[in-house]
Chains A and B, each alone.
Chain A
Amino acid sequence: MDAKQTTLSHKASSNERSGKRSSFILRQLVINRWMYAMMVPGILFFIIFKYVPMWGVIISFQDYQPFLGISGSEWVGMKHFNRLFTSPDFWLLFKNTLMLFIWDLTFAFFTPIVLALMLNELRSMFLKRSIQTIIYIPHFMSWVIVVSITYIMLTTEGGIINEAIVRLGGEPVNFMLSQGWFRPLYTLQTIWKEAGWGTIIYLAALAGVDQQLYEAARMDGASRIRQIWHVTLPGIRSTIVVLLILKVGDMLDLSFDHVFLMLNSMNREVADVFDTFVYLTGISQGQFSYSTAIGLFKSVVGLIMVVAANKLAKLLGEEGIY
């Protein structure tokens, strides 16, 4: 079964081929019957539990009230979207969200890869396994704990870091109330919490790299670093690409808990994002429609980004998600 037939099946659309097409489909179903049978439960799941409830996005075009339901609530068209786009805060929120995403992508995305590569190089199995287990502990700490620990370390009232600074002769720095420190702090926290967890996928991918390729590289006299560059990295390239595409789709999505806990009166200008904005004007006031509209906006942007990223990946010769 070659790729050509598959491509053909997508392009065949003209009337004269419709007859051929239906028999083609039938033939496919029979040839690959096992494959299609295997997919049935999963597909049913997505239809029932993902597509059926999707009617919920409609409420962003209504003034939805839970008791009245969809049929009883008033239709308002683009009212909520207009409210969002004309809000004076819109561009600020967009910028803040985007900036956090860029910081995240630049630093937090690659840390797990580097970590995984380093772990992969460890010779001692014991060291490798124990460190692997340790670095994924932070993933289980909730953001409440992470921010609480951050506070203990960074507060001007006896925090460890500031005590050290004072002892070295400096002035205490108000890290958590400062605008300039917000993005670096946020990113460092994200790395601490999630990098270890992120290595899991890469380590699994690394396990699939053919050992013989290493042998060959060593025969050629490659140093450790060269081996990583020429054997290891290419081996996990498709994993990296897929995760990158998925990450891009999350561009406007941030962890609400995380931002909310770090947000305060002094850093609001750089820290306020769509999710925290929605919290104030949305759920806590029962404004379902507005918050759903914002969610829909984020989803659409994410969709555009994923499609673009996937196309780009394919242009560069990679597998992509679909």
Chain B
Amino acid sequence: MNRHSLSSRLFDGVIIVIVSLYALICLLPFIHIVAGSFTTGAELLRKGFVLIPTEYSLEAYRYIFSTSTLVRSLGVTIYLTVVGTVINVIFTALLAYPLARKDVAGRQTILKLILFTMLFNGGMIPSFLLVKQLGLLNSLWSLILPGLVGAFILIILKTFFQQLPDSIEESAKIDGANDLQILLKIVLPLSMPGIATISLFYAVGHWNTFMQAVLYINNSELWPIQVLLRQIILMSSGNIGDSSIMDEGVVPPAQTVKMGVIVIATVPILLVYPFLQKHFTKGVMLGSVKG
């Protein structure tokens, strides 16, 4: 370990202070929301910004969990996230690796064409017609296939793959391995930070699936959680831009319920990151180059 010089320690201190302050700013509003979900509507109104509720109440969660729909849609979303992410990562890695190798002819053209799709797209109607023609309507596949490989994510992974020194692959080739084996046995284990990153991106994407579900899935049994949760929240403030007086008979849920909904929609996916963090450690490369 290094000698901790004074200037180094000072440096540490400054960093810790800045970063902690920033974390606090990020955290406070969320604490407000969590606190708000565990209190009563009246307390929320009275105090405005609540950090520690003085009146503790589970009324919001009781309302939310009073229907079996929530649990079911949570199940759908979890299934979608797990299965979807695994499929996404496989296909993305398969495509990204060859594109990262300089000796693959035509890769520049392919990359240009992929980049093009990031900038130009046909819009909602053609995509809807395509999904319909493929017979995917009302199936969970309509939520997985159209987003199978994200162009942005693909480019990120390709960039990560490019960081690996050529020597690794060359020595593996000398040992007689083919490209697929190199990818699976050598490149992937060394690229865990990259794989962890794109897994997180895909997982969050699936977790947030909303508009596609509304368009492609008519069967409410298959609704992912965001459809249900947004219905609860948007019922009261209306659509963004909605200008009509709310339809009669619509009694919007309390503010506390809205907050509870946000907590339920957010906390599970927040818990994914700590699991992936162990893959973000330094020095994974050490030792492999020398071997």
Q: Give residues in A with beta carbon < 8 Å to B.
A: 1-3, 5-6, 9-10, 25, 28, 32, 34-39, 41-43, 45-46, 48-57, 59, 66, 115, 118-119, 121-123, 127, 129, 131-138, 140-141, 144-145, 149, 152, 158, 160, 192, 196, 200-201, 203-212, 218, 223-225, 238-239, 242, 246, 249, 257, 260-261, 279, 284, 288, 292, 295-296, 299, 302-303, 306, 319, 321-322
Complex alpha-carbon distance, A261 and B7, angstroms: 46
Q: Is B248 an interface residue (CB 8 A)?
A: no
Complex alpha-carbon distance, A10 and B92, angstroms: 25
Nearest-CB residue, chain B, relative to A6: B105
Nearest Cβ on chain B to A292's Cβ, whole angstroms: 6
Chain B hits for A48, CB < 8 A: 130
Nearest Cβ on chain A to B215's Cβ, whole angstroms: 13
Which range holds the interface residue count of chain B?
35 or more
Contact call A53/B126, Cβ cutoff below 8 A: yes
Nearest-CB residue, chain A, relative to B108: A322
- Say which one of B52-60, B61-69, B77-85, B270-278 lies at the interface with A: B270-278
Complex alpha-carbon distance, A249 and B120, angstroms: 11
Inter-chain contact total with CB atoms closer than 8 Å: 253
With most chain A CB atoms within 10 A of its CB, the pick from B29, B97, B240 is B29
- Report if A50-B121 is in contact (Cβ < 8 Å); known contacts: A39-B98, A204-B193: yes
Complex alpha-carbon distance, A210 and B165, angstroms: 11
Nearest-CB residue, chain A, relative to B159: A242
Nearest-CB residue, chain B, relative to A150: B29
Contact call B163/A35, Cβ cutoff below 8 A: no
Contact call B122/A140, Cβ cutoff below 8 A: no
Complex alpha-carbon distance, A49 and B280, angstroms: 32
Q: Is B168 an interface residue (CB 8 A)?
A: no
Chain B hits for A56, CB < 8 A: 121-123, 125-127
- Of A38, A46, A127, the residue contacting B113 (CB under 8 A) is A46
Complex alpha-carbon distance, A144 and B255, angstroms: 14
> CB-CB contacts of B26-69 with A at 8 A, as 1s and 0s?
11011011000000000000001100000000000000000000
3 smallest CB-CB distances across A and B, nearest first, come from A56-B122, A42-B95, A1-B103
A-B contacts, 18 listed (Cβ < 8 Å): A10-B109, A25-B105, A38-B95, A46-B113, A46-B149, A51-B117, A53-B123, A53-B126, A53-B127, A121-B12, A121-B15, A131-B23, A134-B27, A203-B193, A208-B285, A211-B286, A218-B2, A322-B111
Nearest Cβ on chain B to A117's Cβ, whole angstroms: 9
- Report if A35-B159 is in contact (Cβ < 8 Å); known contacts: A122-B16, A207-B282: no
Chain A hits for B266, CB < 8 A: 137, 140-141
Complex alpha-carbon distance, A75 and B194, angstroms: 47
- Report if A225-B11 is in contact (Cβ < 8 Å); known contacts: A238-B162, A306-B115, A306-B119: yes
